[in-house]
Structure 1
Amino acid sequence: MCGQTTGVGHLGVAAIDFGTTYSGYAFSFKSQFETDPCNISAKTWTGGQLQSLKAPTCVLIKPDRTTLETFGFDAETRYSQLCETGEHTQWYYFQRFKMLLWKKEINKNSMLEDETGKMLPALTVFSLSIRYMKEDMERMSEKQLCGIHPGDIHWVITVPAIWDDSAKNFMRLAAQKAGIDSAKLTIALEPEAASIYCRHIPVEIDGNTGLEASFRVGKKFIVLDSGGGTIDITVHEVCFDGKLKEIYKATGGAWGGTMVDKEFLDFIAELTGKDLLQRFKKDHMEDYLDLLRDFEIKKRKTDSNSQGRVTIKLPLTFMDLVEDNKGQTIKHIVKSSHYANMATLSGDKFRLDYNIFRSFFKKSVDNIVSHVKYLLFEQETAGVDTILMVGGFSESPLLTDTIQREFPRMKVIVPKDAGLAVMKGAVIFGHCPTLIKERVSKYTYGIEAIDRFDRKVHPLNKLHKTDKGNMCREIFDLVVKSGEKLRVDEPHFERRYSSVNVDQYYLSLSLYTTTNNDVKFVTDIGCKNIGCIDVPLSGKGTDRCVKVRLYFGGTEIIFECEEESTGIVTRNVVNLM
């Protein structure tokens, strides 16, 4: 199935699954992959009595603003200790910060706000987190294979498929700052990675043999990647060679498991007041985290048919805080509320009717169901008969129950260890990046170009005088249309551009995106400049030409420039920062 590996010299592949709520890493050596692609090792994280293959996406940075103290469960514990002694105000604690990159203008100077309102560069926070996992993984791999060098490892970092190009580029920049060689780094799209993993494990029964098998050739399926922050949805088809092609552009939204958490916290705030909940979080961080962990456990067990009541343990520090500030116990507050018939408090045991508990899921689940229904009405998804559910939130029985009920004609598959499918699939993708052979463009792309000015066609405000004569500036030179099918490793745009001034030392090619397929100028409404490609020019004159090729089929945009007079070719990822 795999026709091309990451290349000579890589002894292994390591993948970092950088999630909104939980993160982790996994790796395999080349020899392991060649024998069994699913023979993948992952770090086991420890938090108190809990052991997990992922850790909370939390980072604690020292007061000097540049030194990492710790990450994951240890960051939660250490910060809680600092809060207890009142030392936390000088430290920087960040959690669930990945969502900064969702639908926000992000650049290398963007700032992040920590738990107490202090600011640090986002690039610092992301790069220190990646560096921690990188160095931890290198220590772990050295124990398994003595003498392995960091340069022997090819790295993969996962990102949501619905992120824009700038956010993906930001993650590459953060990885470079963390010490990962850009030439040894691949950006993987989360639902694609999960889909690749599921191509290597049995997910259905073969109708002819009655045996477990992976998806057959021609199979069309939706990948519903439900994480903590985002819901990432792609539609794939299995090709004749066993590889995958995307048949509908990636879509989704910020409807992940954290939306359920927010609904629960809003419910608590409705009873006790938002300011009091914030104060509890600030003054008793460890107890606040215990409350969320208990809620997380109950969240993972609740299904559509759960009866009776679910019990959440309220921290005594929170109950005392409420009584001291409200002049009444939280038990009395609940009794006096309109939830009196559906909620009770006995000691520290907060018992909620399952109808209330399920209501915390409603906004998230309704958005997911509505969006999948929309996708199934699209012409491109005709023939889709399966929904493959992956990601940590897909392990929620309530979510899977709802998807099965709302789509009775669909086969709904939740593979074993659905929450690890992205991380393990990213390792396989790192070994064999050609497993995805075709993608669909989410945007329309164009290059800002210049051409001979024609008074019959071009507006006067676009007139630009050059050594070559009167030119029309700011033309949107179409590269790729939204919805266009893009073959991996094939150029989707090739054009010759020439100098317009005698003493011009470089060509500056600005790249734009839009969701509008009918664009004439880069100044049209909806056009967004996402980056620039500077191409050096040799000599002088207005006839110096550069041949530009752009590759859009990969997870990042690749440009290739050939200066015709010298034959010099440069190839790189387009820098969007």
Structure 2
Amino acid sequence: MQKKRDHLLVAAIDFGTTYSGYAFSMRHEFKTDPLKIHANQAWNSGGRALLSLKTPTCLLLNDKKELDSFGYEAENKYADIVMDDEQDNYYYFHRFKMNLHNNKAGIPEDSLKIALEPEAASIFCQYLPTKKLHGADEGFTMTEPGAKYMVVDLGGGTADITVHEKLSNGQLKELCRAAGNDCGGTSVDGRFFQMLVKIFGGPLMKKIKDDDPSAYLDLFREFETVKRTITPEKDSKVNITIPYASLDTHCNNILGENLADVLGSSPYSKQIAVRGDKMRVDADVMKALFKPTIDNIISLMKEILQNKAASDVSQLLLVGGFSECILIQDAVKRNFKSKKVIIPEEAGLSVLKGAVLFGHRPEYVRSRVMRFSYGVETRDDFDSNIHDKKYLVADVFPQKCEKIFNKIVEKDQEISLGQKFTTGHLTVVPMQKEMKLQIYVSTNKTPMYTDETSSTYLGSATITFLVPTEDLRNVKAEYIFGNTEISMKAVDEKTGTNITASFDLI
């Protein structure tokens, strides 16, 4: 997108662990009205009262592994397939992570950008008028130069947090960031499931999930609707519509008792009752399902605010679908009373729409903080004062140390947009046709070796010599950081000519 500015539109696709969606805007619309962004207004589950701005990340393939359906359609169709006992002819995937295969999808690399979620949401909120930012009343300064604020992106699986500073030229500078597991909406779903296991037992819940997915879907879609309505002040029973017929039948068949008797003998006998097709749950029981997740979110936020770069942050921006939960909003306000808490309208779409704006203007963020150390695996002359003997390669002269993590950039290092770093390499044999560099990342600031527990293999960079020579060649590999993706090029140091280089990241 940086090189080609004559595109007609920018489209953003958000493949989340739990929900997915899309949005787009035309180039001419962005110039006149940046917030004129088109998205699907409501996905319909086909069931009771559940309209969503996104669709579940569910995929159904036929027996030839070809696409059959996606989202709510895939969920509903698979439920029908199971009832017809035809599930062995299909492949069904639910709440999964995806790899990007843009070339197979016919998307040229120079037309593709990766948008970071909290960053995209931050950009979106820079464009929003104050009236659409709940909590942004008098004294609102997020869009003023020098303003520092925290973006808390709460999705299905994790919490992604970034601290930004608004610069005088209109760009954003990343000050620090972090991510936490068990901070998303799926962790609450997991505890709801465990509550049902304590009532009905694991085998019964598995039986319903496998043999009656329609009832299972109805139950969790209902919970998705209900959990949006729970407030801190609520002290009365919470009504959850349940697939009574299916649950009662399975209770009789597996446990030998009807649903009411099973519930009466469960640990929740005094807190949960069944009236017709309604499960009536004490408000405190429902709130308890949220508490560990909320505690994790608050703890992560406090940890980041202890960072020197975030010490003077005065505004907290809550985005992502799970940020619309009133219990979370209340907890953040109670724990950070000196901060202004801001929630944009359509918080669940702020990342998606922000990604569209980022596509139109990818240079919006001037600098980023590296989450990992990046390096290349190399060999070097063995030094017994520095190197561990287990990495000694003794059958060469001079003796070498292998698996060295040759650091390119360091974790927590601030990198400007398009900043370049170089490493030097030497061919090892005459007429060498290519050189393959192994790229690693580490959670350690000063990794020594590539097989440390903190290190992870990222992929390889291949340097191809179109005209091999008898002479050994010094090659300078140049890595470009600071964007949302890493790019590289290579130069023959003797001739100064560019050499073909490509990434193959796993």
- TM-score normalised according to structure 2 size: 0.91
Q: Is residue 12 from structure 1 mapped to residue 13 from structure 2 by the alignment?
A: no
| Aligned pair partner of 1:216 in 121, 144, 151 | 144
For residues 160 and 63 of structure 2, what CA distance do their matches in structure 1 show? 36
Distance 1:86 1:473, change over 3 A: closer
Residue identity matched to 2:301:
V
2:168 maps to 1:240: yes
Shift of 1:59: 1.1
Partner of residue 181, structure 1:
108
Output the CA distance in 1 between the equivalents of 2:440 and 2:23: 36
Query: How far 1:543 moved relative to its partner?
Result: 4.3
Contact 1:62 1:68 in 2 (8 A): yes
The question of whether the paired residues in 1 share the 8 Å contact of 2:198 and 2:266 is answered with no
Superposition map of 1:222-301 within 5 A: 222-301=150-229
Match of 1:342 among 254, 266, 271: 271
Match of 1:176, SS state, is coil
Task: Give yes or no for the alignment of 1:576 onto 2:505.
Answer: yes
AA partner of residue 46 (structure 2) = G
Supply the AA of the counterpart residue of 1:46.
N
Q: 1:86 to 1:412 in 2, by over 3 A?
A: same
Q: How does 1:66-465 map onto structure 2 within 5 Å?
A: 67-98=66-97, 126=98, 170-171=99-100, 174-203=101-130, 215-315=143-243, 316-451=245-380, 461-463=392-394, 465=396
Q: Distance in 2 between matches of 1:552 and 1:22?
A: 30
Q: Aligned pair 1:504/2:432, yes or no?
A: yes
Specify whether residues 257 and 497 from structure 1 end up closer, same or farther in structure 2 by C-alpha distance, changes over 3 A only: same
User: What is the CA–CA distance in structure 1 between the aligned matches of 2:432 and 2:270, rounded to whole Å?
Assistant: 78
440-449 vs 530-539, greater mean Cα deviation: 530-539
- 1:61 is the counterpart of 2:58: no
| Structure with the larger helix share | 1
- Quick one: distance in 1 between partners of 2:254 and 2:415? 61
566-575 vs 292-301, which deviates more? 566-575
Task: Give, in whole Å, the separation in 1 of the partners of 2:16 and 2:119.
Answer: 15
Equivalent pair of 1:79/1:93 in contact (CA under 8 Å): yes
CA distance in 1, matches of 2:118, 2:211: 39
Shift of 1:30: 0.4
- Deviation string for 1:314-358 (max 9, x for gaps)? 112122211232222221222233323221111111100000011
Give 1:47's aligned residue: 45
Cα distance in 2 for residues equivalent to 1:277 and 1:297? 20
Aligned-CA RMSD value: 2.4
Separation in 2, partners of 1:518, 1:47 = 49
Q: Distance in 1 between matches of 2:256 and 2:385?
A: 79
Per the alignment, in what secondary structure is the counterpart of residue 245 of structure 1? strand
Query: Against the structure 1 CA distance between its residues 521 and 346, is the aligned structure 2 distance closer, same or farther, given a 3 Å change threshold?
Result: closer
Cα distance, 1:429 vs structure 2: 0.5
**TM-aligned CA distance change 1:520 to 1:83, over 3 Å:** closer
SS in 1 for 2:337: coil
Partner of 1:152: none
Q: What is the DSSP-based 3-state SS (H/G/I as helix, E as strand, rest coil) of the residue aligned with 1:175?
A: coil
Cα contact 1:6–1:432 (8 A) shared by 2: no
* 2:33 paired with 1:32: no
Q: Is the 8 A contact 1:439 1:485 kept in 2?
A: yes
**In 2 relative to 1, CA 507–484 (structure 1 residues): closer, same or farther, beyond 3 Å?**
same
1:484 aligns with 2:413: yes
**Residue 335 and residue 46 in structure 1: after superposition, are their counterparts in 2 closer, same or farther (change >3 A)?**
closer
What CA distance in whole angstroms lies between the structure 1 residues aligned with 2:448 and 2:257? 66
Distance in 2 (alpha carbons) for counterparts of 1:51 and 1:183: 36
Rounded to whole Å, the distance in 2 between the matches of 1:412 and 1:261 is 26
Answer yes or no: is the 8 Å Cα contact 1:230–1:255 preserved in 2.
Answer: yes
Instruction: Provide the C-alpha distance between the structure 2 equivalents of 1:335 and 1:217, rounded to a whole number of angstroms.
Output: 61
* Contact 1:227–1:392 (Cα < 8 Å) also in 2: yes
The alpha-carbon distance between structure 1 residues 285 and 211, as it changes in their structure 2 partners (threshold 3 A), is same
1:373 deviates by 1.2
Report if the CA contact (8 A) 1:195-1:425 is conserved.
Answer: yes
2:280 is aligned with what amino acid? R
1:459 to 1:399, Cα distance in 2 relative to 1, 3 A:
closer
- State the shift of 1:447 in Å: 1.7
Q: Distance in 1 between matches of 2:279 and 2:452?
A: 56
- Would you say the 8 A contact 1:202–1:214 is kept in 2? no
Tell whether the 8 Å contact from 1:201 to 1:213 is kept in structure 2 after alignment.
no
CA–CA separation in structure 2 for the residues paired with 1:389 and 1:532: 37
Distance apart, 1:566 and its partner CA = 5.0
C-alpha distance 211-379 of structure 1, shift in aligned 2 (>3 A): closer
Q: Indicate how the Cα distance of structure 1 residues 314 and 455 shifts in structure 2: closer, same or farther if over 3 A, else same.
A: closer
Q: Identity of aligned pairs, percent?
A: 37
| Preserved contact between residue 6 and residue 430 of structure 1 (Cα < 8 Å) | no
Distance 1:290 1:552 in 2: 46
Stretch deviating more after TM superposition (87-96 or 337-346): 337-346
What do residues 495-542 of structure 1 show as CA deviations (whole Å, max 9, x unaligned)?
Answer: 332223334333322222222333344355533332222212344345
Say if 1:562 and 1:568, in contact at 8 Å, map to a contact too.
Answer: yes
How far apart are residue 294 of structure 1 and its match? 1.0
Seen in structure 2, the aligned counterparts of structure 1 residues 509 and 309 have a Cα distance that, compared at 3 Å, is: same
SS of the equivalent of 1:340 reads: coil
The offset of 1:459, in angstroms, is 6.7
Distance in 2 between the 1:220 and 1:392 partners?
Answer: 23
Q: What amino acid is aligned across from residue 34 of structure 1 in structure 2? A: K
Residues 141, 147 of structure 2: 8 Å contact kept: no
Task: Report the more deviating stretch, 261-270 or 4-13.
Answer: 4-13
Partner Cα separation in structure 2 for residue 530 and residue 401 of structure 1: 40
**Deviation of residue 272 (structure 1)?**
0.7
Query: Which piece of structure 1 moves more, 250-259 or 502-511?
Result: 502-511
Matches of 1:360 and 1:455, distance apart in 2: 55
Change (3 A) 1:453 1:264: closer
Distance, in Å, in 1 between the alignment partners of 2:357 and 2:200 is 48
| Alpha-carbon distance between aligned partners in 2 of 1:85 and 1:525, rounded to the nearest angstrom | 48
**AA paired with 1:95?**
H
Cα 1:550–1:378 change in 2 (3 A) is same
Aligned residues: 495
Change (3 A) 1:464 1:434: farther
